[in-house]
Structure 1
Amino acid sequence: EVYKRQDGERGRLLAVLLDRLHRAPEQPFHLPAPEDPRLAAVCAILHRDPADASTLAGLAAQAGASERTLARLFRRELGMSFPQWRTQLRLHHALLLLADGVPVTAVAHRCGWASASAFIDVFRRAFGYTPGRTFTL
């Protein structure tokens, strides 16, 4: 059972997180939304399950598009490659789970990383600190 924080406490924690994100030395967190319906379908699949390990080719088949078309759409509409966008999506979901008090190892697996150490490495590179420090004051 995930520990659910009170709205006031959660709000304060999210405010601290946003403050830390603004001070992060790396590229700012960015998760753009698509307009093309095929790309939107792929993004919706991954939003529902960020741990989905489907390839771009597999997702393209589900969306009725070619892999090459989707790769171009990711670059043109979202300004990043498919792997970059998927990582941003997973980090977004990870932040929400961490805000709810989910342990780092569980967050890593729920968001699609093969191990907690792989998740911690990506998180540290993105935000400048480890996920375990995300909500410590």
Structure 2
Amino acid sequence: MPMDRQPRRSAGATSQVWPSGGRHLWPSGGASAEQSHARGHLVYAAGGVLTVHTEHATWIVPANRVAWTPAGFTHRHRAHGETDMRIVFLPPSLARLVPDRPAVFQASGLAREVLLALTRPRDHDGAAPGHNRSARTRLLRVLVDELREAPEQPLHLPEPRDDRLRAVARRLSENPADNATLAELGRTVGAGARTLSRLFRDELGMTFYEWRTQLRIHHALVLLADGHDTVRTAHACGWANPSGFIAAFTAVVGTTPGRYRAARLPAT
């Protein structure tokens, strides 16, 4: 299993790290190098938006979600907007209770408060103020129990392997507002719409429409984190009118774009 590797921090990032977790304050666009850890860890964006990248997929982590990365998974983080990133490592006895693959969960109010309590500024001996070892163990158990009750969130974007799908993904990633049909896209990559449709289902486990909507929601979360308003974000991500964007965003994220922007103030 890969050992922990200390990532290279982007200029402008400030970090406080201890054996059980840490806190990183990222400027917009800040990113880590690829890394892996001997223990699985939870990541929470108390403010801003994070993306977690692996070779297989990208997970988006807005401020009302928690991302889980199991031990040994090579990954990197990127911040969108000024981001307050909290990290909590889980001991193996608790890690076995959550999925053995990366996942994103909705953060309940209790889970959020526990994450913040576990990642508050450290005192001189490295322990959270008022938290002895047994208290921390109890808090970790509460946190894992909350995550086990929370549904996994559809906030991952699988990475295609087929060269034709990669070409389609690259084009739409560069311009999420591109409304080309699957047949039109197929003509540019040398594949029919039926072939591409089958590849989306077989490789990525979703339809082309579902994948493109997920891609657009990812871009929308980034734009909102950077301060863009709902109307501008809707048009930049391919929706002809804001109402359609609001409906799609709410269905995936669980809140409207306006409420999401209002809730993005960093926590303490």
Give the TM-score of the pair, scaled to structure 2. Answer: 0.45
Greater helix fraction, Structure 1 or Structure 2: 1
Tell me the equivalent position of 2:128. Answer: none
Contact 1:26 1:125 in 2 (8 A): no
Task: Name the CA shift for 1:19/1:100 in 2 (closer, same or farther; >3 Å).
Answer: closer
Aligned: 1:18 with 2:144: no
Deviation (angstroms), 1:13: 1.9
Structure 1 CA distance, aligned partners of 2:258 and 2:218? Answer: 15
Task: Name the CA shift for 1:51/1:70 in 2 (closer, same or farther; >3 Å).
Answer: same
Q: Which amino acid aligns with 1:124?
A: T
Tell me the equivalent position of 1:3. Answer: none
Equivalent pairs, count? 131
Deviation (angstroms), 1:28: 2.3
Contact 1:105 1:116 in 2 (8 A): yes
Greater strand fraction, Structure 1 or Structure 2: 2
Match of 1:42 among 158, 165, 168: 168
RMSD across aligned C-alpha pairs, in angstroms?
2.2
Contact 1:90 1:112 in 2 (8 A): yes
SS of 1:13's equivalent?
Answer: strand
Structure 1 CA distance, aligned partners of 2:27 and 2:227? Answer: 12
Contact 1:74 1:80 in 2 (8 A): yes
Q: Which amino acid aligns with 1:13?
A: G
Aligned: 1:92 with 2:218: yes
Q: Which amino acid aligns with 1:61?
A: R
Contact 1:51 1:110 in 2 (8 A): yes
Structure 2 CA distance, aligned partners of 1:99 and 1:27? Answer: 19
Structure 2 CA distance, aligned partners of 1:97 and 1:81? Answer: 24
Structure scoring higher RCO (CA < 8 A, sep ≥ 6) equals 1
Ranges in structure 1 where 5+ consecutive residues have no aligned partner: 1-5
Larger Rg: 1 or 2? 2
SS of 1:14's equivalent?
Answer: strand
Deviations 1:78-133 (A, max 9, x none): 10000000000000000000000001100000000111111011111111110112
Ranges in structure 2 where 5+ consecutive residues have no aligned partner: 1-12, 14-24, 29-44, 51-60, 66-104, 108-150
Deviations 1:39-71 (A, max 9, x none): 100111100100100000000000011111100
Contact 1:26 1:127 in 2 (8 A): no
Percent identical: 51
